[in-house]
A and B are shown apart, each in its own frame.
Chain A
Amino acid sequence: MRFVADLHIHSKYSRATSREMSPESIWKWAQLKGVNVVGTGDFTHPGWLNELREKLEPAGNGLFTLKDDYRTAEVPDSCRAEPFFLLSAEISCIYSKGGRTRKIHSIVFVPDFADAARLNAVLSGIGNLRADGRPILGLDAKELLKMVLDVSTDAMLVPAHAWTPHFSVFGAMSGFDSLEECFEELTPHIHAIETGLSSDPQMNRRLSRLDGITLISNSDAHSPAKIGREANIFDTDLSYGAIMEAVRTKKGLLGTIEFFPEEGKYHYDGHRLCGVSLSPRETIEHDYLCPVCGRRVTVGVMHRVEELADRQEGFSPPGLPGFHSLIPLPEIISETLKVGVNSKKVNNEYLKVLSSLGNEFEILMETPLEDIGRAGSPLLMEAVSRVRTGRIHIAPGFDGEYGRIRIFEKVEREEIKGQKMLF
């Protein structure tokens, strides 16, 4: 069957996350978003693991469902579905190798609580699992991989947001130039990488050495509304085993749902404190120094891909899963209403549209445009149409600053709304 999975999120036990990241509200938002399988995140945290044990029950397929007692949140009828949970965690390895500091984040998946507990037992001897839902370990990422593989043959480790500058396997600041450099002889156990918000499959495919690697996409959500902003579309059995098999082999992975990479926080280079955004070429022209303050700029994802790529831009090898570039619906609504994305107005409109049309992914990818026009507004219809066909403007994100999206020029907006102003 065809289903959408977002396998990397964080719970309320992680730093800088919303207190709303509880099993109950993850369950609710997965339905609003149209996510069928959602990662639990943070199973390394003993408090979260206990909460998961209490509130979830095994569905018999290596996935979990929310117990009936906890299904208290209101979900519009149009979005009702049965979301499954998959045990996931993210671990930050900070260590030195080859004379440099390495900071690598990895996602880990396990099929049951026993494996999670076993891995936690091993890791608790190495670092502090209680301080943060995404623990910091002073451990070589390769050693972590070894431990994960030792814990269970069903467990899998996937390098997280593989390109972000500070905390990833290919990151410009503290990553490596290849998977082999990082994982050495265990590299064959790396089957997939997570592309992260600032890169899309097309960029990744410019590295021929990643041809054998599956590209997956997840939201890394820190609040419920961010769930599903990136995700994977599978067409396989709804089970832990089948999902992992698809991640290993690409068979059964139809494709991914992506941000426009420009919207990601590290697409371009730059220096956030000085408000300087640079394209890779400009960075090289400025000798990697901020033209305002003279400090080193943060080298972004596009630059890094450029550095490691052996293929021209635009190349796409045949036979690999495809992808959809989308903008989250609340952001689109915010653009049409010209108010902040976290405003009450956007939220009301969002819920209104969802109630009459169905979950967010349906609206973004499938719902006939006329229906959107009817349920929302002509402006929203046009906006979704433009997102679907990529006719949008984005000022690229840099150095931790999200990219800025513009779907309409000011004049266009007025025209579409059919409200000619008097002046």
Chain B
Amino acid sequence: MAVSASSERTALRLNLLQTLNESQRRAATALEGPVLVVAGPGTGKTLTIVHRIAYLISRGVRPEGILAVTFTNRAAREMRERAEALLGSPRGMFIGTFHSLGIRILAGELSGGFTVYDRQEQVRLIRALLKKSASRPCAKASVTVIAEKISRAKNLFAEPDEKMRGLYEEYQSALRKDSALDFDDLILRPIELLGNTDTLKRYREMFSHIIVDEYQDISPAQYRLLRLLAGRSGNICAVGDPDQAIYAFRGADVEHFLGFERDFEGAETVVLTRNYRSTETVLKASGALIRNNTRRIPGELRPSRERGRPVTVVSVPDERAEGEVIVGEIEKRIGGTSHQRLFRTGEMDGHGGEPCGFSDFAVIFRTNAQVKAMEEAFAASGIPYQVVGRPQRLKRSAAADAISCLSAIADPADGEALRRVASMEQRGLSSEAISEASARAENEGLSLYEAMKACAHRWTGGDRKFLVMMERFLELKNRLSIDALLDVVLEESGLRMVYGDGGSFTPLENLASAYRGLPASEALAGFINDSKILSPADAYDPRVHAVTLMTMHTAKGLEFKVVFIAGVEDGLIPYTLNKDDADIEEERRLFYVGMTRAKDELFLIHARRRFLYGRRLPRQPSPFLDEVPEGLIKRVTVPDRIRREKRDDQMGLF
């Protein structure tokens, strides 16, 4: 039986909003004009956004007119999947990061095509420029620091400082020469293009409804882009939480959020206050902390869960004991990981709480400098763990090898990519073959690939096979979609065999699935550009059951049953080591983000001594701990070790 589109829409509309609470419903249905949605942790932000998208469509808004901007590819993917699940099928709305929005606009406007330089390529370029130019702008600064300075200037929409200007201009012209853009240009260039009235009009018509996630973290440049697209009173819905603004160091400014009502005429503010994630105790503890900030929207989250266990504040002798305590507590909750462990702790039947897998645990810290000691404890225990935000070298090179393969397939004349593919250990070329082909390319002015083909008649065995493989890939490019091509490439290049299936390629594969059905020959270049903006946070793979180790910055947006915050010490939280201009409110927000990741249990651990930055230092507990009401806390002290063999017995806390 045929159902008319409008009655289908009505049905969708009626069912759609039933799962939302009152303020979520308001946020999802206030469609006209600017809306600011204040969404604290665990208040159902993504749920609300995807319902808003579905509601827009049910009201007859063109899916292509909907623009939803997120901060990470992971968030975009989740949003897209959940919106499609709600709508029952994929639609044409644009859900992506600021960078992918930039790529989208540029791809439509720049006729000549362009390449995206990721951070590594950017650094390589700057290094080359520094070598060439006689004067070094800031003698001491490392290349990475210079790259960060350039990036920050672009993000702030500001001129680079005097000393940098020369290099900055050389850098920009080098980019132009290569028709390359760095990540920040993906925002700046579209802003320039939208300076043209006709172009601007077209895009404003194209995107009738804009939703921005994590609005508290937008930079001045991103703000400028949004303002252009939305206009002063356009249909823009900004969602976020000023208490979780943690990217000031990248040039983000929470004032955009706090000033939204001033900025956009007739703006309505909706506050989501009901928290569905954490126990009442976790909420009260984190709420008491964040109340001490002044730059925020006053208010408090209301719990919907039971009171739960007290927050455990643990004092340990040093960072080694810190790791051991965490490992011990995880083992207790898993119910022992081996018979030996069972016998030692006497914990035969788990912890009595809800059963857990390894992925229910997270260890969160302020700086990456803390990760090494923590990894040692996990490595010794055998408990599976993953460090998120600092992709292991293996994963990085796995993805980079795969991208090189695809780049060489997209454009066999891309000598750099082809060289990298050819030098892969498995199924690559022998080093003699590479040098032979390189020499020939040089002498005869051929591309590397042409040179390889010219040499190939004399090659045998693996060298021969390599060329056959490349030829096959090039042929498949015309027949397969990107996801299918990626699959074949990973398989036949031996990459999957070398790196294993342990999630090394998951971000790439996820990205490819967004291109499902698109022929590789057309979309490959776009895919490669997109793949370069996969941010570290995208390396998080929830399908691997492992304890997650990460910094507070990467923890944002995630939740875990049990959270351990390590190094809750003055100097680390707030972070004032090697830094005199710490922004205490930003540091408090970071700690707040960490605490509010916990659903059931929260451990705050501080060491009395710690080896950090090459020195062993006595440590004091974080002053932020004093802001958490004593009544919500249970304090445990692990004594200094007296005899080594006693150690194991001390590790059980309760």
Q: Interface residues, chain A, CB within 8 Å of chain B?
A: 15-16, 92, 94-96, 99-101, 103, 118, 121-128, 130-132, 134-140, 147, 166-167, 173-174, 271-273, 295-296, 298, 399-400
**Residue in A closest to B496 when the chains form the complex, CB atoms:** A122
C-alpha gap A96/B394 in the complex (Å) = 27
Between-chain CB contacts (< 8 Å), 30 pairs: A15-B340, A94-B545, A95-B358, A96-B355, A96-B545, A101-B335, A101-B355, A103-B335, A123-B500, A123-B502, A124-B500, A124-B502, A125-B394, A126-B502, A126-B503, A127-B382, A127-B384, A128-B379, A131-B379, A131-B380, A136-B338, A136-B382, A136-B383, A138-B357, A138-B384, A138-B546, A166-B336, A166-B348, A167-B339, A271-B348
With contacts A125-B504, A138-B358 taken as known, whether A174 is within 8 angstroms of B349 at the C-beta atoms is: no
Check B384–A126 contact: CB distance below 8 A. Answer: yes
Check B355–A99 contact: CB distance below 8 A. Answer: yes
In the complex, chain A residues whose CB is within 8 Å of the CB of B336: 166
In the complex, chain B residues whose CB is within 8 Å of the CB of A140: 545
In the complex, chain A residues whose CB is within 8 Å of the CB of B499: 121, 125
**Residue in B closest to A130 when the chains form the complex, CB atoms:** B379
C-alpha gap A137/B356 in the complex (Å) = 14
In the complex, chain A residues whose CB is within 8 Å of the CB of B120: none
In the complex, chain B residues whose CB is within 8 Å of the CB of A15: 338, 340
**B391 CB → nearest A CB, Å:** 12
**Residue in B closest to A14 when the chains form the complex, CB atoms:** B338
Q: Does B324 sit at the interface, judged by CB under 8 A?
A: no
Check A122–B501 contact: CB distance below 8 A. Answer: yes
In the complex, chain A residues whose CB is within 8 Å of the CB of B498: 121
Check A118–B497 contact: CB distance below 8 A. Answer: yes
**B429 CB → nearest A CB, Å:** 22
In the complex, chain B residues whose CB is within 8 Å of the CB of A139: 384, 544-545
Q: Does B293 sit at the interface, judged by CB under 8 A?
A: no
In the complex, chain B residues whose CB is within 8 Å of the CB of A128: 378-379, 382-385
The 3 residue pairs across chains A and B that have the minimum distance between CB atoms: A125-B502, A138-B545, A96-B357
Q: Does B213 sit at the interface, judged by CB under 8 A?
A: no
**Residue in B closest to A126 when the chains form the complex, CB atoms:** B502
Interface size, B (range): 35 or more
In the complex, chain B residues whose CB is within 8 Å of the CB of A94: 334, 337, 357-358, 384, 545
Q: Does B137 sit at the interface, judged by CB under 8 A?
A: no
B364-392 Cβ-contact flags toward A at 8 Å (1 or 0): 00000000000000111111110000000
In the complex, chain A residues whose CB is within 8 Å of the CB of B385: 128
With A94-B334, A96-B359 already in contact, 14 other A-B pairs whose C-beta atoms are closer than 8 Å: A94-B357, A95-B357, A101-B335, A118-B497, A122-B500, A124-B502, A125-B499, A131-B379, A135-B382, A136-B384, A137-B384, A138-B358, A138-B545, A399-B348
Check B357–A295 contact: CB distance below 8 A. Answer: no
C-alpha gap A173/B336 in the complex (Å) = 11
Check A272–B350 contact: CB distance below 8 A. Answer: no
Q: Is the interface of B mostly helix, strand, loop or mixed?
A: loop
Check A295–B349 contact: CB distance below 8 A. Answer: yes
C-alpha gap A126/B356 in the complex (Å) = 18
C-alpha gap A423/B232 in the complex (Å) = 110
C-alpha gap A121/B496 in the complex (Å) = 10
In the complex, chain B residues whose CB is within 8 Å of the CB of A103: 334-335, 337
Check B349–A131 contact: CB distance below 8 A. Answer: no
**Residue in B closest to A165 when the chains form the complex, CB atoms:** B348
Q: Does B322 sit at the interface, judged by CB under 8 A?
A: no
C-alpha gap A400/B336 in the complex (Å) = 14
- Find the residue from B338, B355, B381, B385 having the highest chain A CB count within 10 A: B338
Contacting A174 at CB < 8 Å: which of B335, B339, B500? B335
Check B545–A173 contact: CB distance below 8 A. Answer: no
**Residue in B closest to A95 when the chains form the complex, CB atoms:** B545
Check A101–B501 contact: CB distance below 8 A. Answer: no
Check A298–B348 contact: CB distance below 8 A. Answer: yes
Q: Does B488 sit at the interface, judged by CB under 8 A?
A: no
In the complex, chain A residues whose CB is within 8 Å of the CB of B383: 128, 136
**B63 CB → nearest A CB, Å:** 35
C-alpha gap A127/B358 in the complex (Å) = 12
In the complex, chain A residues whose CB is within 8 Å of the CB of B381: 131
C-alpha gap A121/B398 in the complex (Å) = 13
In the complex, chain A residues whose CB is within 8 Å of the CB of B497: 118, 121
Check B334–A101 contact: CB distance below 8 A. Answer: yes
C-alpha gap A99/B360 in the complex (Å) = 12
Contacting A125 at CB < 8 Å: which of B343, B359, B503? B503
Q: Does B143 sit at the interface, judged by CB under 8 A?
A: no
C-alpha gap A295/B352 in the complex (Å) = 10
C-alpha gap A126/B499 in the complex (Å) = 11
C-alpha gap A385/B380 in the complex (Å) = 48
In the complex, chain B residues whose CB is within 8 Å of the CB of A124: 500, 502
In the complex, chain A residues whose CB is within 8 Å of the CB of B379: 128, 130-131
Contacting B337 at CB < 8 Å: which of A118, A130, A136, A399? A136
Q: Does B480 sit at the interface, judged by CB under 8 A?
A: no
Check A173–B334 contact: CB distance below 8 A. Answer: no
Check B337–A101 contact: CB distance below 8 A. Answer: no
Q: Does B342 sit at the interface, judged by CB under 8 A?
A: yes
B315-347 Cβ-contact flags toward A at 8 Å (1 or 0): 000000000000000000011111110110010
In the complex, chain A residues whose CB is within 8 Å of the CB of B357: 94-96, 101, 138
C-alpha gap A125/B504 in the complex (Å) = 8
C-alpha gap A112/B343 in the complex (Å) = 36
